Structure 1
Amino acid sequence: MSRAIHIFRSPDRFVAGTVGEPGDRAFYLQVSQDNRLVSVLLEKQQVQILAERIGALLGEVHRRFGAELPPTDVDVDDLEPLQMPVDVEFRVGTMGLGWEADAGAVVVELLAVTETPLDESVVLDDTDEGPDTVRVFLAPAEARQFSARTELIVDAGRPPCPLCGRPLDPAGHICARTNGYHRGIELSDLQKPDDEP
């Protein structure tokens, strides 16, 4: 069966979003153009890395080609939630990122998880063999907006532990850096009254 390649050359919207409460959120990328809507599921780290790499790519494009770019500190225009219902096309396994000089656009490619090792030649290619794919072309301003919104989405989760960097849970946090020890709790507080030494 040949792969499905969903191409969005002038998307109306390309955003990261979540469903669920902090600590139990599912992360999605959603792209729409005209009457088409595609949503893919991915990990928090994947969407965070994608946003960071887009920023790095834009910096490199400016340095190498002198392309005019929007500033890095942009106000996010689109704070709306994902369009519901979120029907997942696939879970993202591999991501590709590139620059199309003729169109002056960032190219984001999202490929489905595969059971077999992925041949890198299928990334940013239209070969018949390979995983299902979503390919999105973004103007530099749209790419900056995507990165800025993604940063807000990621930061809206649980705050990180100042010692180990892992997310803090509302019910408590056993930190590896403190070997599970919580400051302010004495050993005597943990003993039962009948545990006389």
Structure 2
Amino acid sequence: MPTRVHEFAWPDRVVIGTIGLPGARTFYLQVRTGAQIVSIALEKQQSALLAEKIDEILDQLITLDGNPFSVPTGTPRELVDNDPIEPPLEQFRTGAMTLDWDPTTAQIVVEAYPLTDVDADENDERLVEGGTNETEMMLVRMPVGTARAFAKRTREIVGAGRPICPLCGYPMDADGHDCTLPEV
């Protein structure tokens, strides 16, 4: 079964963005190079963990003698991207992701695979147009500055959700909050 790979070697844009109101947002990893744009849906927790792990890798690389990959300690000003995500949305919903470092190109490498239905019969295969069997994946290679900017924006997007109740610690909805204090 052929795999359709959405590959971005030196993307113009790599961002996490959302559609919807806090509490009902859908998170997207969106990558664009020229006219090629792919958006994949993912969970808020996947977004947060991806940013955390990217920063961990970059912080470890900074400690190498002489910082040979020129990893920035902060987000380069020229790489700040606060623009909303662009259509089209959701090529697929993300399941498994991998994160790696490629020292030959000094890039963070992210691979994202579609969520699979573990309850599906092994003989059932998804048919795509034309009657061929196909799966998808996204492969993104980010230079260190882009990766640092990506992680910063992702932390900001994840943190912009519903406010936390100071009494019970659960998220508060815009239409009200039924606060139940823990018993002492």
Fold agreement, TM-score > 0.5? yes
Alpha-carbon deviation of 1:161? 2.5
- Please tell me the residue identity of whatever aligns with 1:114: T
Counterpart residue number, 1:101: 103
**Aligned equivalents of 2:182, 2:24: Cα separation in 1:** 25
Cα distance, 1:87–1:171 mapped onto 2, change above 3 Å: closer
Counterpart residue number, 2:82: 79
User: Once superposed, what is the RMSD of the aligned Cα atoms?
Assistant: 2.4
- Please tell me the residue identity of whatever aligns with 2:62: H
Q: Deviations over 1:38-95 (max 9, x none)?
A: 00001111101101110011112223463321123665621110112x3311100011
Deviates more, 1:152-161 or 1:72-81: 72-81
Q: Secondary structure at the match of 2:37?
A: strand
Q: Secondary structure at the match of 1:98?
A: strand
Deviates more, 1:20-29 or 1:170-179: 170-179
Between the aligned residues of both structures, percent identity stands at 39
Q: Deviations over 1:99-148 (max 9, x none)?
A: 0000011101111112349xxxxxxxxxxx99521011111110010011
Bigger Cα Rg: 1
The answer for unaligned runs of 5 or more in structure 2 is 120-132
Counterpart residue number, 1:92: 94
Q: Deviations over 1:14-35 (max 9, x none)?
A: 1000111111111101101122
Number of residue pairs matched by the alignment: 167
Q: Deviations over 1:141-197 (max 9, x none)?
A: 100100111111112211123355431112333345436xxxxxxxxxxxxxxxxxx
The correspondence of residues 160-171 of structure 1 with structure 2, limited to 5 A, is 160-171=164-175
The answer to whether the 8 A contact 2:62-2:73 is kept is no
**Aligned equivalents of 1:15, 1:91: Cα separation in 2:** 16
Counterpart residue number, 2:149: 145
Counterpart residue number, 1:193: none
Q: Is 1:113 the counterpart of 2:83 in the alignment?
A: no
